[in-house]
Amino acid sequence: MRLDEVARSRRDPGVVVLEGFHAIKHAVRFGADLLGVWTADPAEVAALIARLAPDIALDPTVVSEAELAAVVPRAQVLAVARRPRQPDPDGILALPGPAPVILLEEPRHLGNLGACVRVAAAAGAAGVITTGVQDPWHPDALRGSAGLHFALPVARSRVIRTGDRPLIALDPTGEPLSAAVPERAVLAFGTERDGLSDELLARADARLALPMSPGVSSLNLATAVSGVLFALTALRGR
């Protein structure tokens, strides 16, 4: 693949654009099939590999700073990879094991969406499902996840289904978070401004809340996901 084909790749559902070293590092570490890698600073990329990811190998094509900036102005290194074959939303819900599935209802900010994927991968969640208009595989989301979309299934659904999993709504009016959260739960998070929809709250098997100081009405979405997942890990003694 040539660098001048990257713009077209952004519209191809079969491939993803990876911006920045960390996104490429994790994608490669979790099996990405790279179709092209480009940088204007090969010495710096080599130094990053030696310092942060000696387990991976990259052979980037060297281009000028102007050529790279014309495609993506903020990335030191850029890559295109085949989108991995992953379960669809129903397939994610059907995965075996006790790990929860993270449901993001209509997330608005792609960087936050990606950060949620990063946290979910770190905490060992089974997968991430989103609803709404935002594409969870958008380059900005991949940048926010540092490429960890390749570490667990990530999919978008037009409807909210939970399979045989209990639906747990994270809501400020809920009971304090506790270790009583059932295994295999779908943990649902809404937007910072509006929270979860009335429809989802009505369907929930339980509502839980992270304890917060009086007057603090909400958390950043990725912060909330992180707090819940790692609180549950601590509460369960893992």
pLDDT at residue 8 in the model: 85
Neighbours of 11 (CB within 10 A): 7
* 173 within 8 A of 209, measured Cβ to Cβ: yes
Q: Count CB atoms within 10 A of the CB of residue 218.
A: 15
pLDDT at residue 51 in the model: 96
Please list the ranges in the chain whose pLDDT falls under 50: none
What is the predicted pLDDT for the residue at 172?
Answer: 86
Q: What is the pLDDT of residue 194?
A: 83
Specify the CATH superfamily of domain 89-235.
SPOUT methyltransferase, trefoil knot domain (3.40.1280.10)
Q: Which amino acid is at 144?
A: G
Q: What is the pLDDT of residue 179?
A: 65
pLDDT in the model for residue 189: 96
CATH 3.30.10.20 fits 3-82, yes or no: no
Q: What's CA 4's distance to the chain center, in Å?
A: 27
The predicted structure's pLDDT at residue 119: 97
So what's the pLDDT on residue 191?
A: 87
pLDDT of residue 238: 54
For 195-213, write each residue's pLDDT tens digit: 899 999 999 999 998 887 8
Q: How far apart are CA 141 and CA 9, in angstroms?
A: 16
At residue 16, the pLDDT reads: 95
Residue 166 CB burial class (10 angstroms; 0-12, 13-18, ≥19): middle
Q: pLDDT by residue (tens digit) across 124-153?
A: 999 999 999 999 999 999 999 999 999 999
Please, what sign has the CA dihedral across residues 91, 189, 107, 6?
negative
Spans of all domains in the chain: 3-82, 89-235
Q: Global pTM? A: 0.92
The residue behind tokens 């102007």 is 66
